[in-house]
Amino acid sequence: MPQTVHRQCTLCEAHCGIDVEVEGDRVLRITGDAQDPISRGYICPKAAALADLYADPDRLRRPVRRVGSQWEEIGWEEALDMAAEGLRAVQRRHGNDAVATYFGNPSAHTMAVLSGLPMRHVLNTRNHYSATSADQLPQHLTSAEMFGNLALFPIPDIDRTDYMLVLGANPSVSNGSLMTAPGARHRLRAIVARGGRVVVVDPRRTETAAHASEHVPIAPGGDPYLLLGMLHVLFAEGRTRLGHLEGLADGIATIEALAAEWPVARAAPIAGVDEATVQRLAREFADAERAVAYGRVGVCHQRTGSLTHWLINVLNAVTANLDVTGGAMFPNPAFDVGAVLKRARLLGFGDHGRHTQRVSGLPEMNGELPVAGLADEITTPGEGQVRGMLIFAGNPVLSTPGGARLEEALATLEWCVAVDMYVTETTRHANVILPPVSPLERSDIDVVMPVVSVRNHIRYSPAAVPKRKDGREDWQILTALTSRLGRGVGRRVEAAVASLPSAFTTPERIIDLGIALGPHGILRRGPRKGLTVAKIKRAKHGIDLGPLEPRLPGALDTADKRVQLAPPVLVAEAAKLAEHAREREDALSEGYDLTLIGRRQLRSNNSWMHNSARLMKGADRCTALLHPADAGARGLADGDRVRVVSRVGAIELPLEVSDEIRPGVVSVPHGFGHARPGVGWRLAAEKAGASVNDITDPSLVDAITGNAAFNAVPVRVEAT
């Protein structure tokens, strides 16, 4: 008898509610869950592909170990013992820091991430890495500096705003990021439908821009200058107001002084936006009843990532749009993971700069180091050189800057363990791969996305199909590794493992505790109204905890419980803005006459899901997008094979000519490049494409955090 299981799709940050129709161990159909509190039935084409992932013959079902270039299936116990012993041996030979960890994007989409924390504790190395430093580190920094909590993100109140200024994000395709907003396309259209405006600032006329009120084709990297120009207008015309932050925020005079340095006539040309537009956008934003500025990877993956996110927060704050309905608001999650970790001072959460990366000198943040510097840590000899790795749910060969170099470095490791479902461009360098079951086979409670959602909610996802007999979930694999790593490596580590309270043995128990202690928990709300995991499980479609509400000053965690509008580290960095602009000019004159930016596509999910036939059908999507004028000037035509060359390498791919992209810019999606020998996803390898990260430059990083600056790469395009 077919049966329908209600749960979430955990592929991207939207975490849409899905109805999975199953019969025994077969998945019949996946549709949107109309009763989900925030996705209300919306799904994108990737949800149905969860069934392909489940059925994929190329997906690993059992642990494998590498023997030369072959893979040999082995049992779980043997695999776990071997994996842990290999890592311990590296630490015994070269010290604890010789083992590095890398946690990839999907770890944020499962409660198993909580089981990674004890593992970090036990490995006791400085070399922790994750996709965070290829993604949102600048946003952590600005939240930590301004609000005192690295995970207190201002999220657009998209469903109630009248004016949304979108900088460097394409939510119609990505469905929002650090803004869980399933069906973002419909939510944005609703703003326009209710008489509001959506303005999209992007070098490309994106799918989001197509339905916006206005598209502003900015020059790549131009955003901090645009924002400063707008702030200049606001201060010069006396249009700033702090609203309810009055008396609660420090530093407005410093912001005014900084904005004074950037008259529109100076800022606009660097931004590549005309002066009248800068002025008009500033006035419109200030005049709107409820407005919100929102930026994401287009502005975060920049040399100026931290500066830009700071200026976005400042623009919201000085127009009285921070922490108010229809502005940028702070969610109130049932389990505020980041805040709890920070309060508990666990694993370096909330810390910044306690030590630096050995080779690059970049600072640690939250106990992690920037992944852009990982290859150097592996290849540069000396005390603390990385010689072993544990890679969990990540594909850094395709997803981090200078991936080709990282790949060469991975091949030199003495020992590498991967927890992944496929033999990928990265995991093919592992000695052992430990494959978890696929998402539909595991139960989950989402505790990460509610921290960044446009509506407060919590949802339990039961497994949709029975887990295969010898299948293991990610958290079980991590826990089994942790307990093995804690054995026989000296008394300190053993004592540390033994001291982990039993409450930390399963992620569900940690979450139950976190929820009980949280704002909606039984300790705060009493046994009748308060939340428990048991209650959340009973609510088949999740629990709606209502729209976002103002949370300041209560949620602030700065030393003086005030908003810091002008943190010294950001003000100091702002003094280098003229220099950053010159850097861009210099690169253009060195023969790299175009700027490379990225793009996401609805049927892709970073570097994976390219093994699903239903997602991969149709024309080649891994193309270099160039303006007709730039193509013409190089004698190139649509469909030609071209070479895109940067200072660190070259890739070849088909050219797509379109006036949707700003002249002087070339756009290439990331996550392709599956032609590496021996990768296990066969369909992906057939439609391999090229990896843009073979040409992104690991030396280009956000100046404060070391976050990868994928969108700032000087390149040239030539015929092959």
Residue 149 · residue 557 · CB < 8 Å: yes
- Determine how β-strand 624-626 pairs with β-strand 563-564: unpaired
User: Binding of ligand SF4 at residue 520 (CB under 6 A)?
Assistant: no
Size of the site for ligand SF4 (CB under 6 A): 12
* Site for ligand MGD contains 693 (CB under 6 A): yes
**Is residue 307 a contact point for ligand MGD (CB under 6 A)?**
no
**Is residue 698 close enough to count as binding ligand MGD by CB under 6 A?**
no
Query: By rule CB under 6 A, what count of residues binds ligand MGD?
Result: 64
Q: Considering the complex, what minimum distance in angstroms separates the CB of residue 529 from ligand MGD?
A: 34
3-state helix/strand/coil string of 576-607: CHHHHHHHHHHHHHCCCCEEEECCCCCCCECC
Q: Considering beta carbons, is residue 8 or 400 the nearer one to Mo ion?
A: 400
Q: Looking at beta carbons only, is 135 or 336 nearer to Mo ion?
A: 135
Nearer to Mo ion, 36 or 135 (CB): 135
Q: What distance in Å separates the CA atoms of residue 140 and residue 704, rounded to the nearest whole number?
A: 12
Among residues 11, 79, 152, 341, the one that binds ligand SF4 under rule CB under 6 A: 11
Among 110, 115, 453, 461, binds ligand MGD (CB under 6 A): 110
Smallest distance, ligand SF4 to C-beta of residue 70, A? 34
235 is a contact residue toward ligand MGD (CB under 6 A): no
**Structural element, H or E, at residue 64:** strand 64-67
Quote the CA–CA distance of 120 and 189 in Å, as a whole number.
43
Q: Is 14 in the site for ligand SF4 (CB under 6 A)?
A: yes
Q: Is 615 in the site for ligand MGD (CB under 6 A)?
A: no
CB of 684 to ligand SF4, least distance (A): 17
Q: Which region among 200-208, 337-345, 359-367, 527-535 touches ligand MGD (by CB under 6 A)?
A: 200-208
Q: What are the residues binding Mo ion (CB under 5 A)?
A: 135
Print burial letters for 519-536: b (CB count within 10 Å at least 16), e (below 16).
Answer: bbbbeeeeeeebbebeeb
Q: Which residues contact 477 (CB under 8 A, 6 or more apart)?
A: 80, 419, 434, 436
By a kind-dependent CB cut-off of 5 to 8 A, residue 298 interacts, out of ligand MGD, ligand SF4, Mo ion, none, with ligand MGD
- The answer to whether the CB of 220 falls within 8 A of the CB of 186 is no
What, of ligand SF4, Mo ion, ligand MGD, none, does residue 16 touch, CB below 5 to 8 Å by kind?
A: ligand SF4
Q: How far is the CB of 361 from Mo ion (least distance, A)?
A: 25
- Please state the three-class secondary structure of 177-219 as a single string: CCCECCCHHHHHHHHHHCCCEEEEECCECCHHHHCCCEEECCC
Tokens representing residue 300 in the block:
């975060």
Residues 139, 300 contacting (CB under 8 angstroms):
yes
Counting contacts by CB under 6 A, is residue 297 touching ligand MGD? Answer: yes
Angle among Cα 578, 584, 589 to the nearest 5 degrees reads 125
Chosen residue from 71, 349, 392, 672 binding ligand MGD by CB under 6 A: 392
Pairing of strands 563-564, 641-646: unpaired
Does 609 engage in binding with ligand SF4 (CB under 6 A)? no
* Minimum distance from residue 81 beta carbon to ligand SF4 (Å): 36
* CA–CA separation, 651 and 596 (whole Å): 12
Closer to ligand SF4 by CB, 415 or 608: give it: 608
C-alpha 454/C-alpha 156 separation (Å) is 7
Task: Note whether 555 and 543 are within 8 A (CB).
Answer: no
Residue nearest to Mo ion (CB): 135
Q: Which does 169 bind (CB under 5 to 8 A by kind): Mo ion, ligand MGD, ligand SF4, none?
A: ligand MGD
- Residues 668, 596: contact at Cβ < 8 Å? yes
Q: Does 183 bind ligand MGD (CB under 6 A)?
A: no
- E strands of 91-221, at which residues? 99-103, 128-130, 155-156, 163-167, 197-201, 214-216
**Alpha-helix residue ranges (DSSP H) falling in 95-170:** 113-123, 137-147
CB of 105 to Mo ion, least distance (A): 5
Output 116 or 388, the one with its CB closest to ligand MGD.
Answer: 116
Q: Which amino acid appears at position 116 of this protein?
A: G
Listed ranges 87-95, 413-421, 492-500, 504-512: which one lies at the site for ligand MGD (CB under 6 A): 413-421
431 is a site residue for ligand MGD (CB under 6 A) = no
Helix (H) / strand (E) element for 405: namely helix 403-410
Q: Residue type for 210, please?
A: A
Instruction: Tell me whether strands 214-216 and 197-201 are parallel, antiparallel or unpaired.
Output: parallel
- Alpha-carbon distance of 63 to 72, in angstroms, equals 8
156 contributes a contact to ligand MGD by CB under 6 A: no
Span 535-564, contacts to ligand MGD by CB under 6 A: none
Per-residue tokens: 597: 């930016």
- What is the 3-state composition of the chain as percent helix, strand, coil, each rounded to the nearest 5? 40, 20, 40
Cα atoms found within 13 Å of the Cα of residue 285, Cβ hemisphere only: 33
Q: Could you say whether residue 606 binds ligand MGD (CB under 6 A)?
A: yes
How far is 65 from 72, CA to CA, in rounded Å? 5
636 interacts with ligand SF4 by CB under 6 A: no
- Give the single-character DSSP code of 178: S
663: left (phi over 0), alpha (psi -120 to 50) or beta: beta
Among 30, 98, 299, 378, binds ligand MGD (CB under 6 A): 299
**Binding positions for ligand SF4, 22-81, rule CB under 6 A:** 43-44, 46-47
Closer to ligand SF4 by Cβ: residue 16 or 458: 16
DSSP per residue over 642-662, as a string?
A: EEEEESS-EEEEEEEE-TTB-
Of the candidate spans 12-20, 209-217, 365-373, 457-465, the one that interacts with ligand SF4 by CB under 6 A turns out to be 12-20
**Strand (E) or helix (H) holding 279:** helix 275-287
**CA dist., res. 570 & res. 562, Å (int):** 17
The only residue of 370, 396, 518, 521 in contact with ligand MGD, by rule CB under 6 A: 396
16 binds ligand SF4 (CB under 6 A): yes
Applying the rule CB under 6 A, the residues between 335 and 374 that interact with ligand MGD are none
Residue among 308 and 606 whose Cβ is closer to ligand SF4: 606
**Residue nearer to ligand MGD on the CB measure, 561 or 682:** 682
From 49, 79, 114, 169, residue interacting with ligand MGD (rule: CB under 6 A): 169
CB closer to ligand SF4, 46 vs 634: 46
**Cβ nearer to ligand SF4, comparing 451 with 717:** 451
Token pair recorded at residue 197: 């405006």
Which residues sit at the interface with ligand MGD, rule CB under 6 A? 12-13, 104-106, 110, 131, 134-135, 167-171, 173-175, 177, 201-204, 206, 218, 220-221, 223, 296-299, 301-302, 392-396, 399, 419-422, 424, 436, 439, 474, 597-600, 602, 604-608, 670-671, 692-693, 696, 710-711
Q: Which residues sit at the interface with ligand SF4, rule CB under 6 A?
A: 9, 11-12, 14-16, 43-44, 46-47, 175, 182
